[in-house]
Amino acid sequence: MIGYWQRPEESAEVMRGEWFVTSDLAELDVDGYLTYHGRSDDVMTAMGYRVSPVEVEEALAGTSGVGEVAVTTLDVGDAVSIIGAWVVPTPDAADDLPARVLARAADVLAPYKRPREVRLVDALPRTANGKVVRRDLA
């Protein structure tokens, strides 16, 4: 990585000597397996806890009727935020999909990682490269 094209200030922020430091979060376990936890700039803070959106999305993606899912925080009060889930339903999804998403979350996620609201959408906002733009969800 030489730097960002015509953006020297941004390049200086991510370079440490010859090293390019990403915002990616990963964990290497004792057996040598690498687990990707998302990006540090995507980490959510909900009810005082730091939560990886990737972990929540992977847990909810297994719900029948969920075509795609993305999560981010929703501000609900003075310095209080909750996790919200935006779901693109499959064509055969049942009407109770939001309730089923919340039930799955209760089965597989710690209470502080669970979405408190589910919104059904036709599509998720994406960049030109196809990445979900979480900041555009709320």
pLDDT in tens, 81-125: 889 999 999 999 999 999 999 999 999 999 999 999 999 999 999
Q: What is the pLDDT of residue 41?
A: 67
pLDDT for residue 39: 72
pLDDT of residue 37: 73
Superfamily the domain 42-136 falls into: ANL, C-terminal domain (3.30.300.30)
Contact assessment for residue 96 and residue 90, using Cβ atoms and an 8 Å cutoff: no
Instruction: Specify the pLDDT at position 135.
Output: 86
- 1-41: CATH number: 2.30.38.10
DSSP assignment letter at 88:
E
3-state secondary structure of 76: strand
Residues of the chain with CATH 3.30.300.30: 42-136
Residue 99 CA neighbour count, 13 Å, CB half: 3
Indicate if the alpha-carbon torsion angle 41, 43, 45, 49 is positive or negative.
Answer: negative
pLDDT in tens, 6-31: 989 988 988 888 888 887 778 899 99
State pLDDT tens for residues 37-85. Answer: 777 667 888 777 888 898 999 999 999 999 999 999 988 888 778 899 9
Element (H, E) at 118: strand 117-120
CA–centroid distance for 66 within its chain: 15
Pick from 16, 12, 71, 14: which is nearest to 42 by CA? 71
| Residue 105 to residue 124: CA distance in whole angstroms | 20
pTM of this structure: 0.74
Straight-line distance from the first to the last Cα atom of the chain, in angstroms, rounded to the nearest whole number: 33
Q: Where in the chain is the domain with CATH 2.30.38.10?
A: 1-41
